[in-house]
Structures are given as structure tokens and as C-alpha cells.
Amino acid sequence: MIKWGIIGCGRIAHRFMQGFVAVDGVELVASYSRRPETVDAFVAQYGGIACRSVEELLASDIDTVYIATLPDSHAAYSIAALKAGKHVLCEKPVTVNLTELDEVLAVAQQTGLLFMEGMKPPFYPLYSKLKEYLVNDPIGPVGYVRAGSAVADCPPDHPNYNLELVGGSLMGIAIYEAFLALDWLGPMQDIQTMGRFGETGIDMFAIFQTLHQNGYAQLYCGFDMHGKGDALIVGTLGHITIHKNWWNPAKATISYLDGRTVQLDEPFTAGGLNYEIIHFCELIKQGQTESLILPHELSRQMIAMIDQAREQIGLKYPVEK
């Protein structure tokens, strides 16, 4: 039985628990939120104890911590949990910038504990099935990726609009697109970004194209338009469409140069976060300190891409020195 603690009891923590309750061999032991009423309601729904401080949570009988707060506090909580001897699964984006992430990874290396970013797409059954299928029926070397999403229905009080809490479409949405481009095209070599700001100082819409080791990507993200959330992956012998919402992948179409079309349909259950939880628990059982599917270097490259995109449009957060 792997015993968990949760830091942060907001929207994403509830989505996490939707998947958590579907996983065998795990137990929620303790939770913490900065607002007592929030954590009290959370444990009333899911069980465990309500902690009044991070220190109390880290001193409880837990093996690992899921950090479900907003990005401004990810690094501090990750470091505190690692130093307390706990494995850490931290929600994306894993830190505010690359400098913070490197500080976290240094502590993870010193402690010899497992640290992983909560980037869900690669653990979905459809994404795994797609990668496995292409081994025997490839589309050739991939040289182009196009992906993005713009969602115009975020409630006005959503943290995505809050500059102090590290909001904005690049951090909230484009981190997914960064994963996809890097996963299929390799390390980034260059980036060109344009962005539009909103009243609160965050980027409401951004578009960026990137040059990678193996090709090009065109990506977009936004909060003031409603845009299609599919993904296109193009190779020399065919192309893949991961149908919307591609970051919760359930269907893909592979179209080959020879005229064949292959449909992959792999529904997900329990909201989808259950798959990354299962993977993370397996890593703990195996004594691993890093995921081969989502390694530390990939997390570094993802946040570095967002760092450079933000720099090009002039977006800096108050929490950054």
C-alpha cells in the first residue's frame, strides 16, 4: 500500500482524486490546503486527515506527495517534500521556470527520491497504443507537429487569469503543446513567438513556431477564443491526427501515403489521471528515481521552451527574481 499526501485541495486535486480512487494499492492519508475550510471539505469527501500546515502533512505517515497547488508554489513544496523524505508527483507546469526546476532536481538527486511532473498525455492508453502501433507500421521520420487549443469558457475567477499566481495561456495550455513537439521532434533549437495580453497582465493568446532537432512545430494557446484542440503529427510515409481533446487522447487516425487509413479508439476511464498515478506507483515499487516516459530532461526542455516563449513576448511573473 502506497500512502499519499496531497498539498492543495482545489480543482486539479479533485480531478486527481477521480483517478486516484480507481487505482489499487494506494491510500490517501493526509491533505493540506492554505484554507482550512477547503481541506476540511476535501477530507470529508475523500478521507484521511486534514493538516493545518505543510509540516504536519510531511510529518504524517505518508510515502509520497502530490502537489496540486498553483505553479507559483510548486518548487518550494517539492523541495520541502523531498527534504522530508517523500517522493513527489508535481502537477504541470512543474515550476515557474527552468532555474526553479533545476533547484528541485538537485534536491531530488541529493535525496535519491522519485520526482516526476504530472504531464498526463503520455500515460493515456491511446497514446501508448499509438506509439506501439507505429513500431510495426510506421509513418516514417516525423518532421512536423501542429497542435493547440484555445478555450474561451474559463470562469472569470480562474487562476489562469492571475499574474501573481503564474497564470496565462503559455503556462496553462502551451506546456502540453511543448510536450508533444519535444516528444516527437526532439530538442528545440529555435523559437519564434507572438502573444496578446489581457487586462490582468497575462497572455490571453499566443502562437509560436519552433525548430527542433528533427523538424518543425506550429503551436498555439489562448483563453479568449474557442479553438479546436486536435493535433497533427506528420511523417514521410503518412500523418496522424489525434482528435480533440488531444491532451486527453481517446481517438487517432493514421493516414498513410499508400492510401490506407487506420483508426485507433482507446477510451480512457476515471478522468485519465489514474494512468500517471499507476505509472508513478510502479516507479516507487521498482526503486526508480525518474520516469523513462517523462524523464527529468524532458521536463527541463518543456519549461525551457515556455521560458523562451515568455521572454519573446515580454511576460515575466512577480515571483521571478
Whether 20 is covered by a domain: the verdict is yes
In tens, the pLDDT along 100-149 reads 999 999 999 999 999 999 999 999 999 999 999 999 999 999 999 999 99
pLDDT range class, residue 9, cuts 50, 70, 90: very high
**Domain span holding position 222:** 122-268+302-313
Whether 320 is covered by a domain: the verdict is no
pLDDT of 136: 97
Q: Are residues 10 and 36 in the same domain?
A: yes
Burial (CB count <10 Å: 0-12, 13-18, 19+), residue 306: buried
Whether 56 is covered by a domain: the verdict is yes
Q: Are residues 163 and 277 in the same domain?
A: no
pLDDT of 283: 98
Q: Are residues 25 and 106 in the same domain?
A: yes
The DSSP code for 58 is H
Whether 289 is covered by a domain: the verdict is yes
The DSSP code for 284 is H
pLDDT of 157: 87
Q: Are residues 162 and 252 in the same domain?
A: yes
Tell me the C-alpha distance between 72 and 58, whole Å: 20
Whether 321 is covered by a domain: the verdict is no
In tens, the pLDDT along 271-316 reads 999 999 999 999 999 999 999 999 999 999 999 999 999 999 999 9
In tens, the pLDDT along 33-74 reads 999 999 999 999 999 999 999 999 999 999 999 999 999 999
Q: Return the C-alpha cell found at 240.
A: 496522424
pLDDT range class, residue 223, cuts 50, 70, 90: very high
CA distances to 30, 34, 169 from 43, rounded to whole Å, are 8, 14, 31
CATH number, domain with residue 180: 3.30.360.10
Which residue in 190, 230, 226, 181 sits closest to 205, CA to CA?
Answer: 226
Q: What mean pLDDT do residues 9-22 have?
A: 97
pLDDT of 243: 98
pLDDT averaged over the chain? Answer: 97
In tens, the pLDDT along 187-206 reads 999 999 999 999 999 999 99
CB atoms within 10 A of CB 168: 30
pLDDT of 138: 98
Whether 6 is covered by a domain: the verdict is yes
Radius of gyration from C-alpha coordinates of the chain: 19
Whether 151 is covered by a domain: the verdict is yes
Which residues fall within 8 angstroms of residue 144, CB to CB, at 6 or more apart?
215, 216, 217, 232, 233, 234
What percentage of residues in the chain have a pLDDT greater than 90?
98
Q: Are residues 26 and 104 in the same domain?
A: yes
The whole-model pTM stands at: 0.96
pLDDT of 156: 84
Q: Amino acid identity, residue 317?
A: Y
CA distances to 15, 120, 123, 230, 277 from 273, rounded to whole Å, are 7, 6, 8, 19, 6
Q: Which residue has the cell 493535433?
A: 231
Tell me the C-alpha distance between 91 and 298, whole Å: 15
In tens, the pLDDT along 224-270 reads 999 989 999 999 999 999 999 999 999 999 999 999 999 999 999 99
